[in-house]
Amino acid sequence: MAEQLYEAWVAAVREATDIVDVIGRYVALKRKGRNYWGLCPFHREKTPSFSVDPEQKLFYCFGCHTGGTVFTFLVQHEGREFREVVEMLAKDAGIPPMDRREDNPRQQEEKRLRSVLEWTLEYFLVHARESGAFAAYLDQRQIASTLRERFQLGYAPEQWEGLVQYLSRHGVAPDEMEQAGVVVRRRQGSGVVDRWRDRVMLPIWDPQGRLVGFGGRSLAKDQEPKYLNSPETALFRKSNLLYGSHWARAAWKRGERPLIVEGYFDVIACHQAGQTEAVATLGTSLTQWHARYLARFHQEVDMLYDQDNAGQEAMERAFAILSTAGVKVNVVVLPNGVKDPDECVTVLGADALNTSIKGRLPYLTYRINQSAADPEIGTPRGKAIAIERFKPLWKVVGDPVEQMGYLEQMAQRLRVNPSILAQSFGVWQDVRHTFGKNRHNMERTAQVPSHLASHAVRLLALLLRHPEQVPLVMDELQEWINEQGLETVLEDVAEGRATRDTARWIELLEPSVRTTVMEAVNYQGPDGGTLEIKDYISAITRQRQLQRWNRLKERVYQEGGMAPEVLEEVRVEQHRLSVAKSGNLSTSEQGKEGYYGAGKTRGTSN
């Protein structure tokens, strides 16, 4: 009953609110056709691709695919809570507020999960006091006792049911433990067991400082994986969280710029040196959500990643994502031979880290310096390769004045003739191109570049039109759907919630999947029906197999040989790949009459 009242209230406020008027307070909008257009506030652009549809009461950006209702606009743009936004607009519309005591069921469930997590933390803290191995590990990492307390470091003992029993005594049912992500189902038999054993436990908080999950660092050398996080739960969404964000937020609000580091212990090391503005992603790469979140606090961020290949590649990806969100990226370089902030603080002391941070360099300058130091740069071929590599990075900088600055740096440091360099970067052509197309921009942006849409977007767009196919896709691509965080979305599509009240459905989605959903809702490509859906299933399956295969190869390469269990895995994957290959043949057979004509493989794209 309470939920129905709440839903009716939200709908009434949305109905009574003029979306063009509200968004128009933040974005200059001009009418063109049915919609209003303006410069997108969520990504940097010079020509408008941001549209507001007053009839459907939705907004959508054809550039960065951000979209939603008037409420989600204010949540994203102003960083407010959903409830608070509805209350504010209700007041504007003269609709009385809802009684706060009548929480909706979703909030009640979250409250329950939070108490399960709090008890779990209590359990880890009790065991931390008793474990010698835990104390020895923190001593070896030289973590001060004040920081052990601030970060509430705990210990998961080597037991199968220690936590399960502890939570049972608090009246928590196994199902609830599972929903909170602190236990796993037994593979054989029934019941649940502790998720973590013999690990240092790091509680993870959301930006509001609410406990949402845990990361566990193995203590034994041979225990894999080294870090084991909570699974995705109603509260724990890796792509929407940053470790350390609730302390960092206070520092950012004081004007300090965000410092992005790679791991949990790097954040702790930064705190040791007084740098509380540090955050880390939770073992994933930086997402668009992260970039937009950081952009709300500062126009610039510093990045401090490992000097190894993985670290450098991750930084390059992050640079592209952050730049697109309008955030400038600096690189912090540690003194020679030091691996990470943690090592820097423990070996060289806090001052060494602080000095390194002060010596930050703009990302492209850092890359140009790296190239200049490379002996290959002396050869004409080496020069050409280096310059080719800079082109995509240089493009995302966006600002023409800054771009020219980097061209000068490149010319100087890499010893290339400036005008030849400018020509090679197409500087003059670009200017003409931009001026020429301005006039037609509205029409251009309204057409979604279909080849850029991802598998997830196109598959979802098809399923919105053919919801009866959802069960098939759920069966075939279960793991992939989980990874993409699309499980709830697809359930909603199958059960008709997506089409019954699209605006409300979009509001209730997790921000991390909303972009994908908005892109799918606005996708205007052709509809290949069931055949195209089947094509996607095999393309995605094949892509995942290749990814697994490549990871395995990487592991064999890094470990310099094959342990028996790895060899076994290789055999399994080889078998899967050969099955997939023969499977693919039948798909292209089918393809003759299928949507893609001769069955062109798109399996490796995207």
The minimum distance between CB 486 and Zn ion, in angstroms, equals 22
Q: Looking at beta carbons only, is 42 or 536 nearer to Zn ion? A: 42
The minimum distance between CB 50 and Zn ion, in angstroms, equals 6
Phi-psi region of 294 (alpha: psi -120 to 50; beta: other; left: phi over 0): alpha
Is the Cα torsion angle 377, 381, 387, 388 positive or negative in sign?
A: negative
Phi-psi region of 302 (alpha: psi -120 to 50; beta: other; left: phi over 0): beta
Q: Looking at beta carbons only, is 16 or 452 nearer to Zn ion? A: 452
The minimum distance between CB 522 and Zn ion, in angstroms, equals 12
Going by their DSSP bridges, the two strands 211-218 and 227-229 should be labelled as: antiparallel
Residues 356-395 that bind Zn ion (CB under 5 A): none
Helix, coil or strand: residue 329: strand
Instruction: Specify the stretch interacting with Zn ion by CB under 5 A; choose among 58-66, 115-123, 347-355, 514-522.
Output: 58-66
The minimum distance between CB 63 and Zn ion, in angstroms, equals 4
CA distance 455 to 488: 18
CA distance 239 to 288: 9
Structure tokens at 272: 């040791």
- Residue 265 binds to Zn ion (criterion: CB under 5 A): no
The minimum distance between CB 45 and Zn ion, in angstroms, equals 7
The minimum distance between CB 326 and Zn ion, in angstroms, equals 10
The minimum distance between CB 22 and Zn ion, in angstroms, equals 18
Cβ contact 163:182 at 8 Å: yes
Residue with tokens 């034994």: 220
Q: Looking at beta carbons only, is 63 or 405 nearer to Zn ion? A: 63
Crossing angle of helices 511-521/455-465, nearest 10°? 60
Going by their DSSP bridges, the two strands 154-156 and 199-205 should be labelled as: antiparallel
Burial class (CB in 10 A: 0-12, 13-18, 19+), 508: middle
Express the helix, strand and coil content of the chain in percent, nearest 5 each. Answer: 60, 10, 30
The minimum distance between CB 512 and Zn ion, in angstroms, equals 16
Cβ contact 304:285 at 8 Å: no
Cβ contact 488:460 at 8 Å: no
Q: Looking at beta carbons only, is 266 or 519 nearer to Zn ion? A: 519
The pair phi, psi for residue 595, each rounded to 5°, is -65, -30
Residues 174-213 that bind Zn ion (CB under 5 A): none
Instruction: Specify the stretch interacting with Zn ion by CB under 5 A; choose among 63-71, 321-329, 530-538, 581-589.
Output: 63-71
Instruction: Specify the stretch interacting with Zn ion by CB under 5 A; choose among 56-64, 381-389, 398-406, 431-439.
Output: 56-64
The minimum distance between CB 513 and Zn ion, in angstroms, equals 17
The minimum distance between CB 41 and Zn ion, in angstroms, equals 8
Instruction: Specify the stretch interacting with Zn ion by CB under 5 A; choose among 16-24, 64-72, 148-156, 422-430.
Output: 64-72
Instruction: Specify the stretch interacting with Zn ion by CB under 5 A; choose among 55-63, 262-270, 439-447, 466-474.
Output: 55-63
Instruction: Specify the stretch interacting with Zn ion by CB under 5 A; choose among 59-67, 179-187, 195-203, 276-284.
Output: 59-67
Strand ranges of the sheet holding 154-156, from the earlier edge strand across to the other edge: 154-156, 199-205, 211-218, 227-229
Q: Looking at beta carbons only, is 40 or 85 nearer to Zn ion? A: 40
Q: CA 331 → CA 244, 359, 367, distances in Å?
A: 20, 9, 9
The minimum distance between CB 289 and Zn ion, in angstroms, equals 14
Q: Looking at beta carbons only, is 43 or 271 nearer to Zn ion? A: 43
Q: Looking at beta carbons only, is 20 or 64 nearer to Zn ion? A: 64
- Residue 52 binds to Zn ion (criterion: CB under 5 A): no
The minimum distance between CB 77 and Zn ion, in angstroms, equals 12
Q: Looking at beta carbons only, is 27 or 153 nearer to Zn ion? A: 27
Residues 4-43 that bind Zn ion (CB under 5 A): 40, 42-43
The minimum distance between CB 59 and Zn ion, in angstroms, equals 10
24, 63, 231, 311: which one contacts Zn ion (CB under 5 A)? 63
CA distance 216 to 154: 9
Q: Looking at beta carbons only, is 134 or 293 nearer to Zn ion? A: 293
CA distance 513 to 240: 10
Residues 497-556 that bind Zn ion (CB under 5 A): none
Q: Looking at beta carbons only, is 70 or 416 nearer to Zn ion? A: 70
Q: Looking at beta carbons only, is 42 or 406 nearer to Zn ion? A: 42
Site size for Zn ion, by CB under 5 A? Answer: 6
The minimum distance between CB 66 and Zn ion, in angstroms, equals 5
Q: Looking at beta carbons only, is 427 or 448 nearer to Zn ion? A: 448
Mapping DSSP onto H, E and C, the string for 260-314 reads: EECCHHHHHHHHHCCCCCEEECCCCCCCHHHHHHHHCCCCEEEEECCCCHHHHHH
Q: Which of these, 194, 200, 204, 201, lies nearest to 220 by C-alpha position?
A: 200
Q: Looking at beta carbons only, is 60 or 151 nearer to Zn ion? A: 60
- Residue 61 binds to Zn ion (criterion: CB under 5 A): yes
Lay out the site mask for Zn ion across 72-101 (x = CB under 5 A, - = otherwise). ------------------------------
Q: Looking at beta carbons only, is 64 or 235 nearer to Zn ion? A: 64
Type of residue at 316: E
The DSSP element (H or E) to which 533 belongs, if any, is: helix 529-559
Structure tokens at 606: 């995207």
Residues 296-355 that bind Zn ion (CB under 5 A): none
Q: Looking at beta carbons only, is 47 or 601 nearer to Zn ion? A: 47
Q: Which of these, 59, 51, 11, 8, lies nearest to 32 by C-alpha position?
A: 51
Cβ contact 544:480 at 8 Å: yes
- Residue 64 binds to Zn ion (criterion: CB under 5 A): yes
The minimum distance between CB 43 and Zn ion, in angstroms, equals 4
**Contact footprint for Zn ion (CB under 5 A):** 40, 42-43, 61, 63-64
